[in-house]
Amino acid sequence: MKVKVALIGAGTMANTVHYPCLKEFPEVELVGLCDLVEEKLKATAKKFSIPRTYTDYRKMLQETEPEAVYILMPPYHLFDLVIDCLERGLHVFMEKPPGVTREQTRQMALLAERKGCLTMTGFQRRFAPLVRLAKERIAQKGPILQCQANFFKQTLGAGPYYRGAIDILTCDAIHAVDILRFLGGEVKKVASCVRSLYADYDNSFNALMIFESGSVGFLSTNWVSGKRIFSVEMHGPGIVAFVDPEKQAIIYQDNHEQGTVVSAQEAAGSSEIYKVGGFFAENRHFIDCLLKKQLPETHLGDAVKTMELVEAIYRHSL
């Protein structure tokens, strides 16, 4: 059985991390590609042997009759496209964030539920093989008692994202917000500090959160640091894991000086960045859910909760 998938978007993320995955899945038939830039459209179609190309996505959906659509567009272009596809009864995969606001995300989630559509938001950090491995090692000793997500970049003088169309926390630092939900569960209380550092827009987001389980989470991000770093800490009873999802994890247990080191390549069984970074696993998950008619882990209803946590971080800033 093959799943017919239509594709909207021929940008960098599509070409480097999503379409290479789909091309490897024997159950997937790529039936059409749409993009407004002819040069990118033709080059991407040739690269992945996609038979039909379009500059009008509506025409593509009508002529190719897909079961699912990948929408890989800037966040401020997502809403109308997703709503249209859901109204047609199509399953949808989209990159994060799932829209510009929580309310956009909620409306998409409600429509997907009414139409019986399966959806997935690309929070690939929680699908990174090394993150999954470390979480499983912690679970062998007991629950996560404390976790931290760190995300730093150096963007001094770069200006706001998409010329101000969307804020940094919702658009990008949301990766760290979502992975804390993945590790700790649902959040009961939040206290935060949101700052504008050397800029006229918010670019530093730090928060303490108490999960319903009683465990504690820490968000530590800013966009004026020394370099791009994404890392995660997980603490359990007698065990701690320090994880750089694209490099390595060091896991210490029971006061032993020597930790266990696991490379990202070892966890992924590959050195390809789209496999190390979690993109392969998230795309595999989406296609498997379509085949089994199961709701994906990061469906739009779940994404609403991550967007609500983003709102809470702003609302409870000290």
pLDDT by residue (tens digit) across 100-134?
A: 999 999 999 999 999 999 999 999 999 999 999 99
- Which amino acid, one-letter code, is at 312? A
Q: How sure is the predictor about 313, in pLDDT bands with cuts at 50, 70 and 90?
A: very high
Given strand 28-34, what is the order of strands in its sheet? Answer: 53-54, 28-34, 3-8, 68-71, 91-95, 119-122
Domains in the chain and their CATH numbers? 3-122 (3.40.50.720), 125-270+298-315 (3.30.360.10)
Mean pLDDT, range 71-86, rounded to an integer: 96
Whether the per-residue pLDDT at 83 is higher than 90: the answer is yes
What pLDDT does 221 receive? 98
What pLDDT does 95 receive? 95
Question: In angstroms, rounded to a whole number, what is the distance separating the alpha carbons of residues 310 and 106?
Answer: 14
What pLDDT does 98 receive? 95
pLDDT by residue (tens digit) across 18-33?
A: 999 999 999 999 999 9
Axis-axis angle for helices 300-315, 174-184 (nearest 10):
110
Whether the per-residue pLDDT at 179 is higher than 90: the answer is yes
What pLDDT does 1 receive? 79
What pLDDT does 254 receive? 96
pLDDT by residue (tens digit) across 184-240?
A: 999 999 999 999 999 999 999 999 999 999 999 999 999 999 999 999 999 999 999
What pLDDT does 72 receive? 97
Question: In angstroms, rounded to a whole number, what is the distance separating the alpha carbons of residues 86 and 139?
Answer: 37
DSSP string, the chain: --EEEEEE--SHHIIIIIHHHHHH-TTEEEEEEE-S-HHHHHHHHHHTT---EES-HHHHHHHH--SEEEE---GGGHHHHHHHHHHTT-EEEEESSSSSSHHHHHHHHHHHHHHT--EEEE-GGGG-HHHHHHHHHHHHH----EEEEEEEEE-TT--SGGGGTS-HIIIIIHHHHHHHHHHH-SEEEEEEEEE--SSSS--EEEEEEEETTS-EEEEEEESEEEEEEEEEEEEETTEEEEEETTTEEEEEETT-SSPEEEEHHHHHTS--HHHHTSHHHHHHHHHHHHHHT---TT-HHHHHHHHHHHHHHHHTB-
Whether the per-residue pLDDT at 266 is higher than 90: the answer is yes
Mean pLDDT, range 148-170, rounded to an integer: 97
Question: In angstroms, rounded to a whole number, what is the distance separating the alpha carbons of residues 1 and 254?
Answer: 49
Q: How sure is the predictor about 135, in pLDDT bands with cuts at 50, 70 and 90?
A: very high
Question: In angstroms, rounded to a whole number, what is the distance separating the alpha carbons of residues 7 and 11?
Answer: 11
What pLDDT does 84 receive? 98
Distances in whole angstroms, Cα of residue 235 to Cα of each of 38, 58, 174, 183, 257: 49, 48, 21, 10, 16
What pLDDT does 131 receive? 98
pTM: 0.97
% of the chain at pLDDT higher than 90: 100
